[in-house]
Amino acid sequence: MASASADAAAGEESLRRALSEKQVEVDAQGSVVRELKASNASKELISAAVEALSALKLEKASIEKRLQEIMSASNGGHQNKEAFRQSVVNTLERRLFYIPSFKIYRGVAGLYDYGPPGCAVKSNVLAFWRQHFVLEENMLEVDCPCVTPEVVLKASGHVDKFTDLMVKDEKTGTCYRADHLLKDFCKEKLEKDLTISTEKAAELKHVLAMLDDFSAEELGAKIKLYGITAPDTKNPLSEPYPFNLMFQTSIGPSGLSPGYMRPETAQGIFVNFKDLYYYNGNKLPFAAAQIGQAFRNEISPRQGLLRVREFTLAEIEHFVDPEDKSHPKFVEVAKLEFLMFPRELQVSGESAKKMVLDEAVSKGIVNNETLGYFIGRVYLFLTALGIDKERLRFRQHLANEMAHYAADCWDAEIECSYGWIECVGIADRSAYDLRAHTAMDEKTAMEMKAELETKGEVEFQVCTLGKNVTIKKNMVAISKEKKKEHQRVFTPSVIEPSFGIGRIIYCLFEHSFYTRPSKAGDEQLNVFSFPPLVAPIKCTVFPLVQNEKYEEVAKRIAKSLTAAGISYKIDITGTSIGKRYARTDELGVPLAITVDETDSVTIRDRDSKKQVRVNVDEVASVVKRVMDGQSTWADVLWEYPSHHSASADE
């Protein structure tokens, strides 16, 4: 994949250069024609010159066509992407996977409701996340409030620094994210303007590669340089300035206790570190995990589930000795090979390359074993869900993109019709978060000590009581001491994998979606090829015809499926069996059970459309084995007799 990208880049550069040179020849020949006409040259000379000009224009058009083909291939075909995305989104909304929230009131940008199949997919993804991470690593799971007091987020730095750079339409006041405008300009110029020079194309590609590394001043300078204006009105834009993304609120009726809707779940874990450490027997390393809602007041929500204002995060905080970041289970993922995009490749304009994880850690590309271990585990998690491994890469943060305290940060990015989307962040945050909250505790204590000494008493807010209490000097003693102890004291470092569940699910929708022709060939049928692990419904039960005996058998099967813990759907509508298959394929249901006899039934596989005949009493066990991954469909085909039916192909 990396080699193909490099070849395409080389071909594009060569063609842009050839096009530029050919344009010079066309201009020169055009001047010759004009001069001949001005000097009243002979008809033969003018005709020959015009013919030469026409030939040059044909050569130029040929180069443009080849360049357009390369650009379309490298961009996955812009028009094709749009059409594919629209087909996916239309199917998702029509089948109620998700829909815009409050749509009878025209909706609110960046807010979405999950319908029944969407809820089931999300639930299955989270269940597997718990199994793959929380159970596998024996993590401590917590559940903390969404509303967070200002003091907590002040200590963590969110109040001052949790910002995106924004620009305003100077006449209408409409707000835009500055980096999005620059990104859109560069991509559109590269995709649609074939006349730009090789040097200009290289410059725009470098801007895209370095976009996350630009300061406010650099972004503003680029916006001015390229003459970027407000997309809707073409009005001039303001200079970029920071906008805090947190939703502010107040806690209690007085309005005197400010708070925020949490922008991440992590702070709830950090402030409980001491209690979690004690619960874990005062031993390191250990990890805490949390799944919950987070809130960000996005400047310009777009791209459906990819950029929203309320979303589900699943976060892990793995606490480790800062002087020993080895991991005992790293060997289990060491030999994994996948696309990695270190910062050196990004800055030099190269493409992501396949690397063996062990080599990336040993060469220092990935900072340490524990960080490498979680990168490997994230890769296994995403590919098990059904993410295409060829459209998954791990990109290292650029220098300005990374927090000053972080040792190393990588994003798991998944390619979809919108481009490469960050879905999981895996960061070595050092000891910043724990130190921030510890420092705040110490600062508050010393301020209280000073006030007690000068006034003799102090008002102290007790959050759990929701009121202030008066503490007198004789009630408490506060001192700061240095003790010499014969043991090593340190603040643990934190390795944090943070999962954007909605983004992962949307990319999974795209990676699972395809169409195939109906039996008659007169329409394209939609299919979601979800793995059994995440499929919203595991199987459907169809009586072949509306018949009381068949319906009784269907109820018996349904009861056995319920007892086995398998989700199912019974469809007893009078429509043809082929149409019922098509409906459930569109929901991504892996298996369809058709009741056409009283003692045996057929089971149909969604993707191959092949069927086997199975005794009624064995149906639930066969389905469960396939859903649990104990058997493959190939195993079932080998074990049970095949059944051929024309309706399976409808």
pLDDT in tens, 38-82: 888 888 888 888 888 888 888 888 887 777 777 665 555 555 888
Please tell me the predicted confidence (pLDDT) of residue 456: 83
Q: Which of 629, 395, 414, 428 is nearest to 535 (CA)?
A: 629
For every residue of 102-171, DSSP letters joined together read: TGGGT--TT-EEE-HHHHHHHHHHHHHHIIIIIITTT-EE----SEEEHHHHHHHTHHHH-EEEEEEBTT
For every residue of 357-406, DSSP letters joined together read: HHHHHHTTSSS-HHHHHHHHHHHHHHHHHT--GGGEEEEEPPTTTS-TT-
d(CA 558, CA 552): 10
Q: How far is CA 81 from CA 76, 416, 616, in A?
A: 7, 9, 44
Please tell me the predicted confidence (pLDDT) of residue 10: 56
d(CA 507, CA 130): 20
Fold type of domain 537-643:
Rossmann fold (3.40.50)
Which residues neighbour 648 within 8 Å (Cβ) at sequence distance 6 or greater? 578, 581, 604, 609, 610, 611
Tell the residue number behind the tokens 């919950």, with chain if given. Answer: 292
Task: Measure CA of the first residue to CA of the last residue in the chain; give whole Å.
Answer: 36
- Asked if residue 448 lies in contact with residue 460, where contact means CB atoms within 8 angstroms, the answer is yes
Angle between helices 501-512 and 369-385 (to 10 degrees): 50
d(CA 631, CA 635): 6
> Other C-beta atoms within 10 Å of 193: how many?
11
d(CA 411, CA 341): 10
Please tell me the predicted confidence (pLDDT) of residue 486: 53
- In CATH, the number for domain 163-244 is 3.30.40.230
- In CATH, the number for domain 442-489 is 3.90.1280
Please tell me the predicted confidence (pLDDT) of residue 78: 52
Please tell me the predicted confidence (pLDDT) of residue 23: 82
Which residues neighbour 465 within 8 Å (Cβ) at sequence distance 6 or greater? none
Q: Which of 484, 483, 461, 480 is nearest to 471 (CA)?
A: 461
Please tell me the predicted confidence (pLDDT) of residue 211: 84
d(CA 390, CA 384): 13
Please tell me the predicted confidence (pLDDT) of residue 2: 45
Pairing of strands 337-341, 392-396: parallel
Sign of the Cα torsion 397, 403, 409, 415 reads: negative
Q: What is the mean pLDDT of each successive set of 10 residues along the chain, which is 650 residues long?
A: 49 75 86 88 87 87 77 59 92 96 92 97 98 96 95 87 91 92 90 79 85 88 93 92 92 88 94 94 95 93 89 96 94 97 89 95 95 97 97 91 81 94 93 73 75 82 60 78 66 93 97 90 91 96 87 93 94 84 95 93 95 95 95 94 70
Token pair for residue 509?
Answer: 């929708």
Angle between helices 78-94 and 501-512 (to 10 degrees): 110
d(CA 525, CA 297): 38
Please tell me the predicted confidence (pLDDT) of residue 41: 86
Please tell me the predicted confidence (pLDDT) of residue 416: 94
DSSP bridge partners of 249: 259
Task: Give the containing element (helix H, strand E) for 499.
Answer: strand 493-500
Please tell me the predicted confidence (pLDDT) of residue 20: 78
Which residues neighbour 212 within 8 Å (Cβ) at sequence distance 6 or greater? 179, 397, 398, 400, 401
Which residues neighbour 291 within 8 Å (Cβ) at sequence distance 6 or greater? 126, 129, 130, 141, 143, 265, 312, 313, 314, 315, 501
